[in-house]
Amino acid sequence: MTQKKKTRVAILGTGNIGTDLLIKAMRSDYLECTLFAGRNFRSDGMQQATKLGVNISDRGIDAIVEQADNIDLVFDATSAAAHLEHWPVLQKLGKTVIDMTPAKVGELCVPAINSQDVCGGGASNINMITCGGQASVPIANAIGAVQKDIEYIEVASSIASRSAGPATRANLDEYIETTEQALIRFSGAKTAKAILILNPARPPIDMQTTIYAKIQNPDLAAIRASVDEMMARIIAYVPGYQLIVPPTIEGGKVMTTVKVLGNGDYLPRYAGNLDIINCAAIGVAEDMARMGKE
């Protein structure tokens, strides 16, 4: 039996997220990185790609246009503002795009919730929400699956300041808006609030996210069972995802806390915020490859 041809991917953006994506894509049985495109050959990401023997370019989106025939899928790991410029170009080329920015142009996706639906539904632009969204939305969804009366949901994510690069800092407004939109959509809550805390502590802290849900008559046993089921789905593609405070009642709200440790591929393990969104994106790309969508 011959092995199915791998899906050829291009990574646009050679910062922390793009470089870590590259390492993960190279390890995949379903993906092959045919282009790593940025703006600076001297960047750490470009140097890493060179050592790995990957085809690189400093022409950004223009390189994807020039090498389009050798690309099936594009990861856009730049910024929300840049993605708004990139998408019309990539759409014209007929490329499937996994957007790592909070631009929310495409279908919002959390693999544990709707990867199969998104991949099977013909979406050509898939948005990975935010790092805090990937950590919190599945838990919010699990609560919403057994509680239909969520009045309000709040999510507070603390990450190491050192794991927040220039694009993350430039996208803070979009981060808040996109995370809140995803929380409402996937939990059914009437309103939502997202908070991101950049902690400058040394040594750097691990990513930690606390979810609060205001519910009139919470069924704690049902919520815990639903969250446990969701945890199993998340850990399948994010091994470092941990439930450190099970759902409990605190101050009239259901509260639970998760922590994310990274794989330590290109990024340090404390950068779980970047690792979780990359693991999610690779998971979606592999689902597409398995389903034969490019």
φ and ψ at 85, to 5 degrees?
Answer: -85, -35
Contact status, residue 285 vs residue 73, Cβ threshold 8 Å: yes
Catalytic, 131? Answer: yes
Catalytic residue among 109, 119, 131, 279: 131
d(C-alpha 201, C-alpha 165), whole Å: 16
Short-list 66, 128, 127, 68, CA closest to 94? 68
List residues with catalytic annotation. Answer: 131
